[in-house]
Amino acid sequence: MGGDNGPAEVIRGVKLVLRDIAPEDRLILVGNMKLLQMLARKAGIEAHPQVEYRDAEGVILMDDKPMQAIKSKKAASMLVAMDMLKANEADAMFSSGNTKVLVAAGTLKLRPMPGADRPALASIMPHKNGHFILMDVGANPESTPEQLMHNAVMGTVYAQSALGIAKPRLGLLTVGTEEGKGGERINKAHSLLKKLEGEINYVGPVEGFDMFAGDLDVAIVDGFTGNILLKSTEAMFKMLVGMVREKLSYNPFYWGAGLALFPILQSLKNHLKADENGGAPLLGLNALVIKAHGSCNRHAVRGALRLGRTALSRQMSERLREALARANATIASPAQNPPTPAPPPAATETLATPKEGGPLP
Amino acid sequence: MGGDNGPAEVIRGVKLVLRDIAPEDRLILVGNMKLLQMLARKAGIEAHPQVEYRDAEGVILMDDKPMQAIKSKKAASMLVAMDMLKANEADAMFSSGNTKVLVAAGTLKLRPMPGADRPALASIMPHKNGHFILMDVGANPESTPEQLMHNAVMGTVYAQSALGIAKPRLGLLTVGTEEGKGGERINKAHSLLKKLEGEINYVGPVEGFDMFAGDLDVAIVDGFTGNILLKSTEAMFKMLVGMVREKLSYNPFYWGAGLALFPILQSLKNHLKADENGGAPLLGLNALVIKAHGSCNRHAVRGALRLGRTALSRQMSERLREALARANATIASPAQNPPTPAPPPAATETLATPKEGGPLP
């Protein structure tokens, strides 16, 4: 029921994803049941055998404060869906609602998985030749060195699953690549990551320049910087496309060029919007929560639902738990040369950004 | 002598700026004198009456560590130039060398100006309809709330001088615009900024989205996030232009469009590179230091030198000192309703990004 576009657009996304999923899958729409059934009727999926309904009362609004909303809006759709996860009545949930309430409710109701202190949002971003994972993009603004290390471990597993990269190259985002730069938090996180040599493919500290060059698969940063970075690069891209469009339309000489340019801008846009199309998982909770942009459209909803479905089929949560346990044991181990277990088996297929209309594995 | 392109490109920039400056201005080239004179001869300015030379031995390299370099390379060009500022043998200095050494040497040799704890780098960035100032972009990665407040005061003065805006709209960059979001540091800085109501035009907390929309003239953030943001948005822009170019050259159908598109990309590039063309002043030191990108070309050198010249003629340092004194007095004042002094007089002309070849005021 939340998000900027309300349930109508979510239901249009559900209609799209119904073409892709397996016959045993179920999609449960949580919210004002009359409204949802009316919207589902309009979309022609009211009586679809794979669509179910769960009544909920109220909506978490975009400016609701976490603790207050969790206490006073117990029957709101987001919190009812989360209770269903907790009660094992659902395997994963999707939300395009208030991120801060989602993170707080997830932490309180589902609890962080063993080995992780706090959940982190992982976003898929474009680089020159493909995509990389930026995390945390806002779940935990004041990440500690230990939490940055947990995020590195989880980001590695997510990149294996979502990008199909066996040994994702992981960098710690900072302001200078020499050791000792970036302050105490970065130094401590750097030491922890170096200890995990056998478990993650840590390439060292990296700078803002390095992210888009294509040499990095996972960039780890605190949720404060990550959130500002995500929103700024998105806004900057929109600005650039808008400026090109404006210049094209302003001068009739460019109209022909504009027509030719349109497919280029469109393909760039598709490449750059991978995060919106895929949604961002809240990694490190005991059940799977997928967050989509508040302003997501039906295609982004479909992408996020597919992402959730595929993560479940690939046992991503189990892999995250195992990797965290191994990493924490290595860090706690007093041995000088800790045993280096083999990295988890490489995912050869990709989880996110499946081709439009292609079947889910 | 530092920077990625060495002294040859700096001297080409000096040649360009010699066309703009007043007859009483002097440009002192600091470094290996034989090399500098040879390069100046090549550029045809060796015996120019406004060019002087100061011998220096050695270069601060891009990976030199601050304290070590300051101790062991006392005769390097950057440190000699700074000693000249300290001894009042020069009014401002330009460097495209190692930022961390420049900040550390500036802090040690020139000292922060009264009312400021630490210097901050202020970069001019593009937004939809013009430009805004982002600071700190890396001088002080772990800014305290008080330092963020100082930067807001200095950023306001700089926007008045450099962008010609009488009451620059200033925002505090964070992850959510409600009060209480973004952690303790942001909350404290927000409280301090609210107290300065009569002195700065504080619009409140802003998010990454807001910077490029054109509603903001100054964005304040810690040097860690600001540096990553600056480098990431630059890298992202280069990636986008590269992708458009590649797509255009790949498909012959687009070649005509590419020709038409070239001036658009060029004009976008000029709009977006204002920071490189202007250089970034290190605000809050007792003398004026202008930093340019390590990779700056002659045009960026010229822009940075003009920026320095104009800041001197506008008494920017004096204005910074006065504004800091007023702000600190207001913060220290126990009065519930502190007197609201009139804002400093609006600069009606702009300091940075002067038109190519136009005369300096």
Residues A232 and A151 in one domain: yes
Residue A357: pLDDT band by 50, 70, 90 thresholds? Answer: very low
Domain count, chain A: 2
Residues of B in contact with A238 (CB under 8 A): 212
When mean pLDDT is compared across A45-59, A269-283, B103-117, B232-246, the lowest value belongs to A269-283
For chain B, positions 282-341, list CB contacts with chain A under 8 A.
Answer: none
The answer on pLDDT for A272 being more than 70 is: no
Fill in the DSSP letter of residue B285. Answer: B
Domain boundaries, position A139: 117-275+315-355
Q: DSSP H helical segments within chain B, as ranges?
A: 6-17, 33-43, 66-72, 77-86, 99-105, 145-163, 184-195, 223-250, 255-272, 274-278, 298-313, 316-332
**A vs B: CB pairs below 8 A:** 166
Which pLDDT score is estimated for A330? 96
Which pLDDT score is estimated for B120? 97
Residues A204 and A331 in one domain: yes
Is residue A217 one of the residues assigned to a domain? yes
Residues of A in contact with B123 (CB under 8 A): none
Give the nearest chain B residue to A142 (CA atoms). Answer: B183
In 3D space, the residue among B12, B41, B9, B14 whose CA is nearest the CA of residue B27 turns out to be B14
When mean pLDDT is compared across A83-92, A215-224, B59-68, B292-301, the lowest value belongs to B292-301
The Cα–Cα gap between B254 and B248 comes to 5
Is residue A271 one of the residues assigned to a domain? yes
Mean pLDDT across B298-303: 90
Is residue A196 one of the residues assigned to a domain? yes
Residues A341 and A217 in one domain: yes
Residues A40 and A139 in one domain: no
- Using one digit for the tens of pLDDT, what is the confidence trace for B143-201? 999 999 999 999 999 999 888 899 999 999 998 766 556 788 999 999 999 999 889 99
Residue carrying structure tokens 């190259």: A169
CA distance B25 to chain A (A): 36
- Using one digit for the tens of pLDDT, what is the confidence trace for B208-263? 989 988 899 999 999 999 999 999 988 888 887 777 777 666 665 555 555 666 66
Residues A148 and A241 in one domain: yes
Residues of A in contact with B63 (CB under 8 A): 178
* Number of residues written out for chain A: 361
CA distance A177 to chain B (A): 9
Among residues A71, A93, A110, the one where a domain terminates is A110
When mean pLDDT is compared across A233-247, B172-186, B258-272, the lowest value belongs to B258-272
- Among A264, A267, A275, A276, most B C-beta atoms within 10 A, so best to mutate, is A264
Residues A11 and A146 in one domain: no
Q: What percent of chain B has pLDDT over 70?
A: 82
Residues A92 and A157 in one domain: no
Determine contact: A46 vs chain B, CB below 8 A: no
Residues A58 and A146 in one domain: no
DSSP state letters, B188-256: HHHHHHHHTTTTSEEEEEE-GGGGGTT--SEEE--HHHHHHHHHHHHHHHHHHHHHHHHHHHH-GGGHH
The answer on pLDDT for B205 being more than 80 is: yes
Determine contact: A62 vs chain B, CB below 8 A: no
Is residue B308 within 8 Å of B15, Cβ to Cβ?
no
- Using one digit for the tens of pLDDT, what is the confidence trace for B317-327? 999 999 999 99
Which pLDDT score is estimated for B236? 85
Determine contact: B22 vs chain A, CB below 8 A: no
Greater pLDDT, A352 or B209: B209
CB contact under 8 A, A209 and B128: no
Among residues A110, A143, A160, the one where a domain terminates is A110
Residue A44: pLDDT band by 50, 70, 90 thresholds? Answer: very high
Is residue A293 one of the residues assigned to a domain? no
Determine contact: B171 vs chain A, CB below 8 A: no
Residues A135 and A105 in one domain: no
Fill in the DSSP letter of residue A285. Answer: B
Question: What CATH number corresponds to the domain at position A199?
Answer: 3.40.718.10
Residues A65 and A157 in one domain: no
Among residues A58, A89, A110, the one where a domain terminates is A110
Residues A98 and A130 in one domain: no
Amino acid in the structure at residue A248: L
CA distance B51 to chain A (A): 35
Determine contact: A250 vs chain B, CB below 8 A: no
Name residues whose C-beta falls within 8 Å of residue B229's C-beta, 6 or more positions apart in sequence.
Answer: A208, A225, A228, A229, A232, B134, B137, B221
Which pLDDT score is estimated for A257? 58
- Using one digit for the tens of pLDDT, what is the confidence trace for A149-176? 999 999 999 999 888 899 999 999 998 7
Residue B359: pLDDT band by 50, 70, 90 thresholds? Answer: very low
Which pLDDT score is estimated for A70? 96
Is residue A33 one of the residues assigned to a domain? yes
CB contact under 8 A, B253 and A236: no
CB contact under 8 A, B221 and A207: no
Is residue A254 one of the residues assigned to a domain? yes
Residues A201 and A60 in one domain: no
Is residue A288 one of the residues assigned to a domain? no
Is residue A75 one of the residues assigned to a domain? yes
